[in-house]
Amino acid sequence: MNFAKYSLFSKKDIISIYHSWIIINKPLYIKYYNLIGLMIMALLIPLDYILYFENNIFTKYRIFYILIIIINLLFIQIYQNKIFTINEYKFNFELFLPGIL
């Protein structure tokens, strides 16, 4: 039996629909992932003070992370017309930044 004809990845129309869906929703995902990373780090700062009261080594790194994410959100807001072009599908560092930090 040839199961290749039933594969979702072999149909060009499904792949083009998927890419257009990604292009349309990319601005939402970029802002969502940045805000999720920002909220998680902000909620972990009080835990640093509770757990490591005397040598609080993680708080300065969390504040540095929060500053980088805020700068990234400002960059996204300022250059949103250039970042969110509808015609092309390309890699965005703004979407990848919270994951690598």
SS3 of 43-60: HHHHHHHHHCCCCCCCHH
Instruction: Note whether residue 17 is domain-resident.
Output: no
Domain count, the chain: 1
Q: What is the pLDDT of residues 4-53, one digit of tens each?
A: 555 656 677 777 777 777 777 877 888 888 889 899 988 988 888 888 87
Please say if the pLDDT value at position 92 is more than 60: yes
- pTM of structure: 0.67
Instruction: Note whether residue 15 is domain-resident.
Output: no
| AA letter at 80 | Q
Range of the domain at 90: 27-100
